[in-house]
Amino acid sequence: MRIDFAEINQKIKIYHSVNRFEAAEKLLLTAIDEYGSMANLHNLLGVTYHKQSKFTDAIIQFTKALKINQNFVEAGLNLSATFCDLGRYEDAKSVFSEVLAVTPSNKKQPDLILGRLANQHAECGHLYLQNNLPLEAIAEYKRALAIYDKMPDIKVALGQLYLKTNQLDRAMYELQESVRMFPDDYDSHLWLGICFWKSGMRDQAVRAWEAARSIEEPENTLASAYLRFSQQS
């Protein structure tokens, strides 16, 4: 069964990557008929439904997976994320709490679990951005950070999008918060400098770029380039 499931899992990944969701659904339903009700299969079927925005069907499948295996963290995270997509945040928190409660104390990693949940929204934001939908991407990045804010790359990405959409005050807030939370993050300082420069705050921009340059090697970095540009302007 392990070999069969590995093959099924690989095929589902391929189907998902090319958006052949009906083929994925058919394969999983056939597998459930053949092998019986298994948590992994119901979880994959839930993911398949979720990718089609069939959230009610996804919830049913994730719930079935958890009934079979209450320690199935991935299914719990998927269920919690689906509730978030529907704005059912209390249900999402409840499911997350249940997942954490049944996790053995020596394996509890709430930051890791929250990070995985937040990453699902971050990945959705990346997809929106790739399809030139910045406002939708902003909404997903905000959802990700509301769940788990210890992601400097997402805070910087959100700040960049606020800059792109001319929301300088919001960009400034996110980037300053990122610098405060992650003082050793190069991109946070770099983009805060860009935000300062666009806001006409040139002295602050220079200080931010100098901070960025002090983190990375000073040669051949964007921070150095921006500093040279500031001296010429």
Domains defined for the chain, CATH in brackets: 1-108 (1.25.40.10), 151-233 (1.25.40.10)
pLDDT band at 42 (very low <50, low <70, confident <90, very high): very high
**Residue whose entry in the numeric block shows the structure tokens 């990122």:** 178
Span 146-158, mean pLDDT?
92
On average, the pLDDT of the chain sits at 88
Q: Over the Cα atoms of the chain, what is R_g?
A: 22
User: What per-residue confidence (pLDDT) applies to 88?
Assistant: 82
Tokens coding 114: 């929250």
Angle at 94 between CA 106 and CA 75, to 5 degrees: 65
Q: What is the pTM of this model?
A: 0.59
User: What per-residue confidence (pLDDT) applies to 29?
Assistant: 95
The CA distance from 103 to 98, in Å, is 9
Q: Specify the higher pLDDT residue, 90 or 27.
A: 27
pLDDT band at 61 (very low <50, low <70, confident <90, very high): very high
Count Cβ atoms below 10 Å from residue 221 Cβ, excluding itself: 17
pLDDT digits (tens, 9 = 90+) for 121-149: 898 899 899 999 999 999 999 988 988 88
Cα dihedral sign, 182-185-191-194: positive
User: What per-residue confidence (pLDDT) applies to 58?
Assistant: 97
Closest CA to 16 of 99, 127, 136: 127
User: What per-residue confidence (pLDDT) applies to 17?
Assistant: 87
Instruction: Choose the weakest-confidence range: 163-177, 185-199, 215-229.
Output: 215-229
Span 186-199, mean pLDDT?
95
Q: Classify residue 16 as exposed, middle or buried by CB count within 10 Å of its CB (0-12, 13-18, 19+).
A: middle
Q: Say yes or no to pLDDT of 158 above 80.
A: yes
Closest CA to 43 of 17, 7, 82: 82
User: What per-residue confidence (pLDDT) applies to 77?
Assistant: 82
User: What per-residue confidence (pLDDT) applies to 185?
Assistant: 94
The beta-carbon contacts of 127-134 under 8 Å, at least 24 apart in sequence, are: 129/157, 129/161, 134/161, 134/164, 134/165
